[in-house]
Amino acid sequence: MTDIFQRLRENPGPLGQFADYAEGYFVFPKLEGPIGPRMRFQGREVIFWSANDYLGLCNHPEVLEADAKAAAEYGMFYPMGARAMSGETEQHQQLEKELAEFVNKEAAYLLNFGYQGMVSTIDALVGRHDVIVYDSDSHACIVDGVRLHLGKSFTYKHNDIASLEKNLVRATKVAEEQGGGILVITEGVFGMRGMQGKLKEICELKSKFNFRLLVDDAHGFGTLGKTGAGAGEEQGCQDQIDVYFSTFAKSMAGFGAFIAADADIIRILKYNLRSQVFAKSLTMPMVIGGLKRFELLRSRPEIKAKLWENVHKLQNGLKERGFNLGNSNTCVTPVMMEGSTVEATLLSRDLRENFGIFTSVVIYPVIPKGMILLRLIPTASHTDSEINETLAAFEAIHEKLVSGFYKKQEQKLLEEQNLQFKNS
């Protein structure tokens, strides 16, 4: 019999194996100062491109004032208990009503956190005889929600409608045999590579197949659509999304999430979402602060306009300098390059140490081996100066990458490690 801890020590996981090398710098880095375009990292100022604060609301004066007043009046723990037991307030209901109207649904329900909220929503929507069909590039919260499902599930190729249709044929056969239904899950915006989910095309398949559609629009809410109501509004199919989900951790600059759907479905979910029924209610400072954030999101269209102005400047500038941004058609800005994991970390360190640019570096197993992905998140708060500094830095690293500079550094590093190994 194997000792569990011994197994964990021998196999710490695909990311855990890099802990000694990466922790504190590439993983679990400590950023200091107010959240914004410039923060401090390891004692120096850097231009920060890793916050999902799309609309720049984290330190908006009206938001800070609302948060502070709510905390002073209610404290950080009110209301006490779960919503179903003792945690219901008029403010919770008001925020739900406003959110539902904004995303064109009959009702909405607040969730404590986005990740656990999505996991629990999937769990509550399907039974053992139902079939789930979901995009292969789905966020981990969707994958983990599907793992809880006791029935059958199929994945379709990322954003591939032909693959989805093929899997819907399979799912229909299984559902008919078992007396169940079909739930299709996709994202409004895929947060790593920036493509919108093909919501309109998926909705058109409803004329051929009987299924319900759940959309995780974490990165689309507040950034896409004429009013900011998300990817469904952007693509003109919001009314055909059966369950709409988004988090407050992006454009709303907070924590928590919500789901929106027909009133009777939200009523049923309220009584069956285990992550909410058995958890404390969303705290009042976040609810009241959320009302203020949502007010700004709706009433200040110039903020979203500034966001997209910055997105276009950054993305066009990177493309002009020879970088591949894939098929992103959203604010998410993935810079894709070829190279090893070591090259990725050397390149990222160069950006931080020599150019003062902090970006998130993404490696295998999140993306395929042989790829380097640097993900930049433009916000409405970034200035032209910060964008220009960043573009100049990327132009410099592009030349280094093409010349093999990082490859040579990698080889030297490996040779030094090998020598140390031989001498030890």
Is residue 101 located within the same domain as residue 25? Answer: no
Q: Is this structure's pTM higher than 0.85? A: yes
Is residue 272 located within the same domain as residue 343? Answer: no
Is residue 72 located within the same domain as residue 185? Answer: yes
Q: In this predicted structure, what is the pLDDT of residue 374?
A: 93
| Helices 384-403 and 301-320, packing angle to 10 deg | 30
Q: In this predicted structure, what is the pLDDT of residue 1?
A: 85
- The CA angle 18-21-23, to the nearest 5 degrees, is 85
Alpha carbon separation from 141 to 157, 186, 290 (Å, rounded) = 18, 12, 22
Is residue 146 located within the same domain as residue 193? Answer: yes
Q: How far is residue 243's CA from residue 259's CA, in Å, rounded to a whole number?
A: 7
Domain boundary (267, 283, 299) is at 299
Is residue 74 located within the same domain as residue 116? Answer: yes
Is residue 168 located within the same domain as residue 225? Answer: yes
Is residue 220 located within the same domain as residue 289? Answer: yes
Q: In this predicted structure, what is the pLDDT of residue 423?
A: 46
Is residue 49 located within the same domain as residue 114? Answer: no
Is residue 245 located within the same domain as residue 107? Answer: yes
Q: In this predicted structure, what is the pLDDT of residue 421?
A: 44
Backbone angles phi, psi at 364, to 5 degrees: -60, 135
3-class DSSP assignment, residue 2: coil
Q: In this predicted structure, what is the pLDDT of residue 424?
A: 39
Answer for the pair 245, 213: CB distance below 8 angstroms, yes or no: no
* Residue 27, both tokens: 């993983």
CB atoms within 10 A of CB 420: 9
CATH number at residue 380: 3.90.1150.10
Domain count, the chain: 2
Domain boundary (299, 319, 344) is at 299
Strand ranges across the sheet with 357-358: 31-32, 38-41, 44-48, 357-358
CATH number at residue 123: 3.40.640.10
DSSP string, 51-99: ---TT--TT-HHHHHHHHHHHHHHTTTPSPS-TTTT---HHHHHHHHHH
Domain boundary (253, 276, 299) is at 299
Residue 133: which of 93, 169, 97 has the closest Cα? 169
User: What is the mean pLDDT of each successive set of 10 residues along the chain, which is 424 residues long?
Assistant: 90 82 88 95 96 95 96 93 92 98 98 94 97 95 95 96 98 96 98 95 97 98 97 98 97 96 97 93 95 97 97 97 94 89 87 95 75 92 97 93 86 69 44
* Residue 151, both tokens: 């029935």
Q: How far is residue 65's CA from residue 67's CA, in Å, rounded to a whole number?
A: 5
3-state helix, strand, coil in the chain (%, to 5): 45, 15, 35
Element (H, E) at 411: helix 405-423
In terms of residue numbers, what domain contains 121? 61-299
Is residue 287 located within the same domain as residue 214? Answer: yes
Bridge partners (DSSP) of residue 355 are: none
Q: How far is residue 296's CA from residue 303's CA, in Å, rounded to a whole number?
A: 9
| Termini Cα distance of the chain | 34
Is residue 340 located within the same domain as residue 239? Answer: no
Is residue 79 located within the same domain as residue 100? Answer: yes
